[in-house]
Amino acid sequence: MSRRAGAPVLLACLLALAGGMLFGLRYGIVDLPAGRIVGILAHALGLAGEPGGESWHAAVLLDVRLPRVLLGALVGGGLALCGAAMQGLFRNPLASPGVLGVSTGAAVGAVLALYLGLAAQSIWALPLLGTLGAAVTAFVVYGVATRRGQTPLGTLLLAGIAFGSLNGAITAFILSISLADYRIAGQIMYWTLGGLDRATWDYVKLAAPAILLGSAAIVYHARDLDALLLGETQAASVGVDVPRVRRRVILATALVTGVAVSVAGAIGFVGLVIPHILRFFVGPAHRWLFPASLLGGAAFLVLADLFARWAIAPEELRLGVVTAAVGAPFFIFLLLRRRKEGWW
């Protein structure tokens, strides 16, 4: 197997994403033929006249399925990209988007929104509080780990773990005091398991700019992160302003992860393992790994969501359960097969 199959892997990820999105739009309680999907979309974009047939088909497609697949692609791509960036920045294969505690920070905000009943009052409350929780955690972790302008990676990692645990404790505390009200506790548990079933255009409008902007900032630093993999002094020697690049990438990751977790809940596995799998095929160079992670992560989450909707229809599996249940065995399989060659 080639370690340097950049272009074919990108193409494969793109096809998987396109196929996953098409299936996601097509199948559900009612199956919509491809021609009908095209007709409805064309009409929505003002390219064609009123499509015939049942009018509620358009509502299902445009208001339920389309925001859901778009949000799935955004969240999956964003989380996988952040995982790739964190693994590169920390030169550590165990780094994930949540390594700085931002996912757990988002969880605190989201759980608080549910507990206080704000989420029931406004659709924006949960994602906004979640993003706020992620941002506060990112800045506190960075601040704690920084002394006189220096931010050692080891300290940053430990501070991230410490605040991640603290956030976990806060989340567990809120859950424990809400147990009296079964309805609220249920909502919190449900959110914690991760899913795209809340997806609406509001969520897409909130997530898309943040995730795309953060992703662009990460991709912009691809060459710098390549050089950083050789060591900080090596990177500085080839012109990388190490502290500045690190600050920007961490900030971008916090933004993307915070928003992704806020709108889709805690979805494990994608950010940690998708970049590993893709690195195996395209090598460590970020100019390939980043686009591959974006497309591959997006495709994976859209397909996983499709499975979650299909498996026990009309009920849904929780997406976080599916990603881990599908992904972990595949990862272990690759790990066993490639153990001899070493992963990196």
Partner 1 sequence: MVSEPILEARGLSFAYDAAEVLREVSLALRPGEFVGLIGPNGSGKSTLLRALLGLLPAKRGEARLKGRKLADLSRLEIARTAALLPQETAAGFAFSALEVVAMGRNPHLGRFRPEGAHDREAIQWALKATGTEAFAARPVTELSGGERQRVLIARALAQEAEALLLDEPTASLDVAHQLELLKLARKLAADGRAVLAALHDLGLAARFCTRLAILSEGRIAADGPPEAVLTEANLAAHFRIKARVRREAETGALSVLPLEPE
Residues that bind partner 1 (CB under 8 A): 3, 91, 220, 222-223, 226-227, 229-234, 236-241, 283-285, 342, 344
Q: Smallest distance from the beta carbon of 91 to partner 1, in angstroms?
A: 5
Q: Smallest distance from the beta carbon of 275 to partner 1, in angstroms?
A: 12
Q: Between 141 and 289, whose beta carbon lies closer to partner 1?
A: 289
Angle at 172 between CA 107 and CA 185, to 5 degrees: 85
Identify which of 143, 92, 94, 108 has the alpha carbon closest to the alpha carbon of residue 251. Answer: 143
Angle at 68 between CA 66 and CA 72, to 5 degrees: 120
SS3 32: coil
Q: How far apart are the first and last CA of the chain?
A: 14
Identify which of 91, 135, 121 has the alpha carbon closest to the alpha carbon of residue 250. Answer: 135
Q: Between 179 and 230, whose beta carbon lies closer to partner 1?
A: 230
- Phi, psi (rounded to 5 degrees) for 150: -105, 135
Q: Between 41 and 213, whose beta carbon lies closer to partner 1?
A: 213
Beta bridge partners of 150: 147
Angle at 127 between CA 123 and CA 130, to 5 degrees: 140
Q: Smallest distance from the beta carbon of 242 to partner 1, in angstroms?
A: 8
Q: Smallest distance from the beta carbon of 237 to partner 1, in angstroms?
A: 4
Q: Smallest distance from the beta carbon of 145 to partner 1, in angstroms?
A: 18
Q: Between 19 and 283, whose beta carbon lies closer to partner 1?
A: 283
Q: Smallest distance from the beta carbon of 180 to partner 1, in angstroms?
A: 50
State the CB neighbour count (10 A cutoff) for residue 125. 19
Q: Between 87 and 178, whose beta carbon lies closer to partner 1?
A: 87
Beta bridge partners of 112: none
Q: Between 3 and 337, whose beta carbon lies closer to partner 1?
A: 3
Q: Between 176 and 237, whose beta carbon lies closer to partner 1?
A: 237
Identify which of 290, 265, 300, 280 has the alpha carbon closest to the alpha carbon of residue 76. Answer: 300
d(CA 66, CA 109): 27
Q: Smallest distance from the beta carbon of 344 to partner 1, in angstroms?
A: 5
Q: What residue ranges in 24-128 does DSSP mark as E strands?
A: none
- Residue type for position 300: F
Identify which of 120, 118, 87, 83 has the alpha carbon closest to the alpha carbon of residue 103. Answer: 83
Q: Smallest distance from the beta carbon of 226 to partner 1, in angstroms?
A: 6
d(CA 81, CA 205): 20
Q: Between 104 and 293, whose beta carbon lies closer to partner 1?
A: 293
